[in-house]
A = this chain, B = another copy of it.
């Protein structure tokens, strides 16, 4: 296949996808899919490696299949001969991944922060409540929670600090309190199972500075939480409204200039366009991004895969066998004090066209 012909075919694929898909994407996203599909056969691995939104990925893959560039069955996706000719002519190389095995690419040595405490955390997690769809849940691996706290500790945001976790199915409040380093850890969640679990663990393990309180984050925060913490952590819903609302709630809880916040953001449910909007929002709020570590967090597969909206988009339907849903860890630091607005939010802050998992 000649380059000119390949470019024409590629351009048609992109145009057809653009007519169909309701989410923003750029040509490079299509290249990323064609790079990932050369490296992995398993569809969920293609999702992970491509770093594009699930909605776009599925729509683009369907175009690839319709045009006989790819074939899909039993959860596998592969290029046809025509598809291989296309990527060769376009000079799109396979994804090459080379994460450090020792730290799973996070750059942090958990053992330096936790020692044998990581086993205690594992032990505690055995009885954790399962993730449920009602609250848009899906928790990260234990290593992720420990690495996140370790990373924050390294940044000076844990030891002797007051920490609030807005939504805590990851049990990061326990991971933080277990170290004995924070002055205070408060977890808010809408799920009473989690509140009870965290408070029971605090009681049983003698973690006096750990407390969980029931709260629906769509409701205004209590006054006692405003401007009261050094550090917040949250894993917001990925609709742009939900993202901004949760991160803003986090910022409201901070004491002010020099306080820090952590949150996760995926590619699965957030285009780079959305990433840019979030970044602008942070800067407008007087925050600077000090760290942005993609693929820091890996999520344990949840039980409601077939009920999530993206299931119907899949070009081939099979449950994932490995971790596939990852997110980037953002750290922000406030450069100025923040005006607190503390509004009540609309009931459904969880949806936009890019959202895939609820």
- A interface, CB within 8 angstroms of B: 26-29, 31-32, 35, 91-93, 95-103, 105-113, 150, 153-154, 156, 159-160, 181, 183, 257-259, 272-273, 275-276, 279-280, 283, 287-294, 333, 335
Contacts and interface: CB of A to CB of B under 8 A. Distances in A.
Nearest to A106: B107
Nearest to A273: B335
B276 A154 contact: no
B93 A159 contact: yes
A78 B93 CA distance: 53
Contacts of A108: 98-100, 105
Contact of A95 (B35, B110, B156, B259): B156
Given A279-B288, A279-B289, A292-B290, A99 B107 contact: yes
Contacts of A150: 98
Nearest to A150: B98
A266 to B, nearest CB: 13
Copies in the complex: 2
A26 B259 CA distance: 11
A61 to B, nearest CB: 18
B102 A156 contact: no
Given A26-B257, A272-B288, 12 more contacts: A27-B258, A93-B159, A95-B154, A96-B153, A98-B110, A100-B107, A107-B293, A273-B288, A279-B283, A289-B292, A291-B292, A291-B294
Contacts of A101: 102, 109
Most buried by B among A156, A159, A283: A156
Contacts of A96: 112-113, 153-154, 159
A294 B290 contact: yes
A28 B258 contact: yes
Contacts of A272: 288, 290, 333, 335
A38 B288 CA distance: 26
CB-CB nearest 10 A-B residue pairs? A28-B258, A98-B112, A93-B159, A100-B103, A292-B292, A102-B102, A276-B288, A105-B107, A91-B160, A107-B107
Contacts of A292: 289-293
7 contacts: A26-B335, A28-B259, A97-B112, A99-B109, A100-B100, A272-B290, A291-B293
Nearest to A98: B112
A10 B153 CA distance: 23
A44 to B, nearest CB: 19
A100 B102 CA distance: 7
